Structure 1
Amino acid sequence: MSITSDDVIRTLREVVDEQPDHVYQRPADMDGSEPCLYVHTDETGAQVPGCVVGHVVSRLGVSLSNVADHEGTNASGLLEVLRISVGDDTAEFLDTVQGHQDLGFSWREALMRADEEKAGTEL
Structure 2
Amino acid sequence: MTTAVAGELTDETVLSKLRDVVAKRPDYVYSPPEHMKDEIGSCFYAHTDDEDGFLVSAGCAVGVVLAELGVPLEKLAAQESIPAYRVLGVLAPRLSKRAKDVLNDMQTYQDTGLPWGQAYAQATGVTI
**1:9-64 Cα shifts (integer Å, max 9, x gaps):** 00000000111110001222115221200100136744201111110000010000
Q: 1:28-107 counterparts in 2 under 5 A?
A: 28-30=34-36, 31-42=38-49, 45-107=54-116
Shift of 1:84: 3.1
Question: Between the two proteins, what is the percent identity of the paired residues?
Answer: 35
Unaligned runs of 5+ in 1: 119-123
Q: How many residues align?
A: 117
Q: Secondary structure at the match of 2:47?
A: strand
What is the alpha-carbon distance in structure 2 between the residues aligned to residue 82 and residue 29 of structure 1?
A: 26
**1:38-94 Cα shifts (integer Å, max 9, x gaps):** 100136744201111110000010000111001011112111122432111100111
| Contact 1:24–1:106 (8 Å) recurs in 2 | yes
Give the corresponding residue for 1:121: none
| Contact 1:79–1:85 (8 Å) recurs in 2 | no
TM-score scaled by length of structure 1: 0.87
TM-score scaled by length of structure 2: 0.84
- Report which stretch shifted further, 45-54 or 85-94: 45-54
What code does the residue aligned with 2:13 have?
A: D
